[in-house]
Structure 1
Amino acid sequence: MGSVSRKPRAVLWDMDGTLVDTEPYWMAAETSLVESFGGSWTHEDALQLVGSGLIDSAIILQNAGVAMEPEAIVSHLTDVVQESLRTQGVPFRPGARELLAELRDAGIPTGLVTMSLRRMALNVVDLIEFEAFDIVVAGDDVDNPKPHPEPYLQAAALLDVDITEVVVIEDSPTGVRAGLASGAVTLGVPHIVPLDDLGAHELWPTLAGRGVSDLGDLFDANNAMTEVIR
């Protein structure tokens, strides 16, 4: 056995909180919507929604007093966040854009797997100055949102790779659970909420300064264990 680490066949990225820090945009949109119906929306309320499916989030917002259908709530929030992205720019998480570019240069396929609407995801992808992703799986592309494994399994199928040969990068407990349930090597990069004790294969405090070789080492270390089990 040489010391050269095997690369993953693909790397699948969560969007909100992992690739881009859109959470403040979402929180601001939620707050103004709830307040427009005379309700109140605290930072703690907003934290409940981090990583949740959009319809699940909409139902929580309904319970906070928003008298709109769930689909209308989702559409409204998406519009507001898209406008924020357009006017204020895409706030990349530290190291994310650089790691993504390095993966592209290395020829490793990449996918974006998000519970945001497809139009929102494509909007973010369009604002990246290089061709960042081979495929996009969004919230309206799947029957079962994260923490169900379907989004990641669908992405692996679209890329024609075995999910066990994939690294998933996530920032939320919901997303980490989805990655682990799918069978992927799951990397947690905590952002707003901690990811301790969820069983992620590794936790990195940041993607800053991390490269393809680090992902290779992560994949190797955690895939070696599954090879032995098989």
Structure 2
Amino acid sequence: MPTLNSASCPAPASNSLLQGVLWDMDGTLLDTEPYWMAAEGELVAEFGGSWSDDDALALVGNALPDSALVLQRAGVKLSEREIIDRLTTRVMEGINQHIEWRPGALELLEELHQAGIVCGLVTMSESAMATQILARLPKKYFAFQVTGDQVSNGKPHPEPYLVGLKKLAELVPDLDVTRVVGLEDSFPGISSAAAAGLKAVLIPHIAAVPESANWHLVESLTQVNVETLCTLTGIGAS
């Protein structure tokens, strides 16, 4: 079971209305979507198929097995495992050349860290990739990670965030899901967070996401801090 390291992760803050924040990775924490889209296009082209920007945008936020199935239908004659490995390798090559954190992400992580609010990662990327990316952060901001290869049902199913809440409950006494925020950039992701009962906050990026009463919208993480997260989501409102 994941545990907090007091030297690198904050202890739960008993005086905070906000009890935890669960973060998506691709497109929310850092900008990997162009790498994924390029990798998909290259793979389809290798097998003589065509792949449009709209095709790529339709996969943003999807579970990797679901994306692999779409690519197979587009003519990629590889197994699901082979497709996932090829895509992940190509994306990591791009990240190793240049990593771009989303605007405001590092600043918000640091503020949450200083406030003692536990953060967890909930991503459809696989564990090996997520671990490499988190190692690039200036501090160990995340107490745990939930990855696509650790769940049976990927986003938009609520399972990834339900697993995240279970891990968070091991670290935060008397956890109240209505005091936990989920940060997402895609329709599958925000749907997953909302379905799990979190206060879901959408920070749109590449793919369009419809408005909904099930989530809250901010244009950029540069507009967000602990106080505004509580105000936006109604955490602590009487």
TM-score of the aligned structures, taking structure 1 as reference length: 0.90
Please give the residue correspondences for 1:47-126 in structure 2 after superposition, counting only pairs within 5 Å: 47-88=57-98, 90-126=99-135
Larger fraction in helix: 1
In structure 1, the gaps of 5 or more residues are none
The runs of 4+ residues in structure 1 deviating greater than 4 Å are none
RMSD: 1.6
Residue deviations 1:128-150 (CA, integer Å, cap 9, x gap): 11112001000001111111111
Matched, 1:202 2:234: no
Partner of 1:145: 154
Q: Answer yes or no: is the 8 Å Cα contact 2:17–2:236 preserved in 1.
A: no
Q: What amino acid does structure 2 have at the position aligned with 1:148? A: H
Partner of 1:216: 230
Q: Answer yes or no: is the 8 Å Cα contact 2:190–2:215 preserved in 1.
A: no
Q: Answer yes or no: is the 8 Å Cα contact 2:179–2:235 preserved in 1.
A: no
- What is the DSSP-based 3-state SS (H/G/I as helix, E as strand, rest coil) of the residue aligned with 1:32? helix
Partner of 2:10: none
- What is the DSSP-based 3-state SS (H/G/I as helix, E as strand, rest coil) of the residue aligned with 1:208? helix
1:129 counterpart (126, 131, 138): 138
- What is the DSSP-based 3-state SS (H/G/I as helix, E as strand, rest coil) of the residue aligned with 1:187? strand
Partner of 2:41: 31
Cα shift at 1:39: 1.1
Partner of 2:178: 164
Residue deviations 1:90-113 (CA, integer Å, cap 9, x gap): 211111111111111111000010
- d(CA) in 1 for partners of 2:213, 2:82: 36
Matched, 1:154 2:163: yes
Cα shift at 1:115: 0.6
Partner of 2:200: 186
Cα shift at 1:204: 0.4
**Worse-matched range after superposition: 191-200 or 97-106:** 191-200
Partner of 2:5: none
- What is the DSSP-based 3-state SS (H/G/I as helix, E as strand, rest coil) of the residue aligned with 1:134? strand
- d(CA) in 2 for partners of 1:70, 1:179: 26
CA pair 200-20 structure 1, distance change in 2 beyond 3 A: farther
**Worse-matched range after superposition: 117-126 or 196-205:** 196-205
- d(CA) in 2 for partners of 1:26, 1:201: 25
- d(CA) in 2 for partners of 1:198, 1:57: 25
Matched, 1:10 2:20: yes
- d(CA) in 2 for partners of 1:38, 1:194: 28
- d(CA) in 2 for partners of 1:179, 1:198: 13
- d(CA) in 2 for partners of 1:209, 1:190: 13
Residue deviations 1:69-92 (CA, integer Å, cap 9, x gap): 01110011111111111122x211
- d(CA) in 2 for partners of 1:217, 1:157: 25
